[in-house]
Structures are given as C-alpha cells and as structure tokens.
Amino acid sequence: MPGEPGTIDFTLRIAINPRFVGWIGEWLREIAVLEPISLRETLIESCDICKANQLRIGQEWDTTIASN
C-alpha cells in the first residue's frame, strides 16, 4: 500500500489477461492496484460479485440446513 511502512511499489508492463487478473486476485488482501484504473475496476467488480455470491449462497444454504 502506498505510504505504508515496509511496502514495495511494484510496476509491471504486461497485457491484462484473465490469468494475470487471477494472479492479482490471489493478493487482494495485501495489495492496492493504482493503475490502470480499468484493472482496479475489474478487481472491484470481481470482489463485489464474489461477496454477493457468498452472501446469497450462504443464506440459501443456511435456510436449507435450518429446514431439515
């Protein structure tokens, strides 16, 4: 994270592709994507979808378990 002690500013010149986005996704809890904005927006959208799926599926599961 920028300005945080013990951080590394890392720059890559790479084509944005699904494998790269997945690799970045493995580090989401420890990184901040500064540029390009499109990559940051892609990751935010992925996180939003993941959260919505976890909440929806978890709630469906909990309801199924409770009714058994």
Write out the two tokens for 9: 């500013």
Residue 14 CA, chain-centre distance (Å), reads 19
Residues 23 and 10: their CA atoms lie apart, in Å, by 14
Residues 9 and 16: their CA atoms lie apart, in Å, by 19
Q: Where are the domains of the chain?
A: 18-67
pLDDT surpasses 90 at 51 = yes
CA torsion 52-54-57-63 (nearest 10°) is -110
Give the percent of the chain with pLDDT over 70: 94
Instruction: Determine the pLDDT at residue 65.
Output: 82
What is the rounded average pLDDT for all residues in the chain? 87
pLDDT tens digits for range 12-36: 898 989 999 999 989 888 888 989 9
Note the helical H segments in 1-68.
18-25, 37-67
